[in-house]
A and B are shown apart, each in its own frame.
Chain A
Amino acid sequence: MAETAMPEIMPDLEEKEASESKSKSELEPGYLVICWNDPVNYMNYVTHVFRKVFGWNKPKAEFHMLQVHNQGKSVLTRESMEKAEHYVHQLQKYTLHATMERDE
């Protein structure tokens, strides 16, 4: 029986696993998109922006707007890192105070 030749260079399994693990982590919906209370933005403006960015209906957008107003912040969605970044950027284009935070 012929022996299988050993490759001269072993693949860096640990590095590959770490890379795969990182990619998986970035794809998992583990990032929260949060909108923070901002004393300058009008309530119906904020509602409009939520509807525009997330495609929500008016009651849902108003619910989150009121959460921002009454509780100081609202978690708008939980997404992968890439999508969370996208949403935060969209909200910031409208000068809303939005950030993404790792969901611990």
Chain B
Amino acid sequence: MKFLKLEKGAFSFHISERERRALFKLLELYPLVPASYQKLSRDGGKPEDQQLLEDALNSQRNEHKAQVLAMLQTKSRFQSAPGGYQFNLKPTEAEWLLQVLNDIRVGSWLLLGSPDSMVKIFGALNDKSLPHFWSMEASGDFQMTLVHALTGGGGTPPPSTETGEAIM
């Protein structure tokens, strides 16, 4: 997926058919991160406060899930273009899609056992973990394009070595 332009308050991306299928496949996974993953404070805090936090996160995820489904069902979202489609998103939609994709990325990482380096991920790859690795990397790739657009980028994103370094 490539960022094309920001016009009339909406971002336009070019997305191939294969990328579009991959994006839809990824979005089916949402939500992946359990609400209990997030803590209000380092020591856990009061159980009632933690419950409130988890309720708020679950509510927000349900809202996002509905938005994702609505997006999947809107045919005008993807307009035919040479080599694929023009994919249009308003900035607010790009923001929640970014949140959804990062949930999938972090959730996939958790399913891989929360490795702290790529070496450990590659060392433990097998038939069972490979789909999680794919969803972590693919969601990260879409995220980078969205961040590039949201931060005022133009054309194609810079090489991943400059923009895609994870905090590891």
> Known: A41-B166, A42-B163, A43-B165. Contact between A95 and B151, CB under 8 A?
no
A100 at the binding interface (Cβ < 8 Å): yes
- Cβ of B33 and Cβ of A95 under 8 Å apart? yes
Return chain B residues, CB-CB under 8 Å to A52. 95
**Residue among B33, B95, B164 making CB contact with A42, cutoff 8 Å:** B164
Interface bracket on B: 35 or more
Chain B residues closer than 8 Å to A94, beta-carbon distance: 98-99, 102
Interface assignment of A77: CB less than 8 Å from any CB of chain B? no
Question: B168 near A: Cβ within 8 Å?
Answer: yes
A40–B40 touching, CB < 8 Å = no
**Chain B, 38-64, CB within 8 A of any chain A CB:** 38-42, 53, 56-57, 60
Closest chain A residue to B57 by CB distance?
A92
A45 B151 Cβ-Cβ under 8 A:
no
B106 is an interface residue with CB less than 8 A from chain A? yes
Q: Which A21-52 residues have a C-beta within 8 angstroms of B?
A: 34, 37-46, 48, 51-52
B38, B95, B98, B166: which contacts A40 (Cβ < 8 A)? B166
| Given known A44-B147, A88-B40, contact A39–B168 (CB-CB < 8 A) | yes
| Of the residues A40, A48, A88, contact of B151 by C-beta under 8 Å | A48
Interface centre among A40, A88, A100 (most CB of B within 10 A): A40
Stretch at the interface among B3-11, B70-78, B136-144: B136-144
Which of B53, B102, B143, B144 has the most C-beta atoms of chain A within 10 angstroms of its own C-beta? B102
5 more contacts with CB within 8 A, not counting A40-B105, A48-B151, A94-B102, are A42-B144, A44-B151, A45-B143, A65-B167, A93-B57
Contacts of A68 in B (CB 8 A): 167
Contact B147 A48 (CB under 8 A): yes
- Chain A residue contacts of B117, Cβ below 8 A: 39
In the bound complex, how far is the Cα of B57 from the Cα of A64, in angstroms?
Answer: 24
A78 proximal to B (CB < 8 A): no
Q: How far is the CA of A24 from the CA of B150 in the complex (A)?
A: 39
Per a CB cutoff under 8 Å, which of A69, A89, A101 touches B42? A101
Q: In the bound complex, do residue B144 and residue A44 qualify as a contact, i.e. CB atoms below 8 Å apart?
A: yes
In the assembly, what is the distance between CA of A93 and CA of B42, in Å?
17
Contact flag A89-B53 (CB < 8 Å), given A45-B143, A99-B39: yes
Q: Any chain A CB within 8 A of the CB of B109?
A: yes
**Are A39 and B99 closer than 8 Å at their CB atoms?**
no
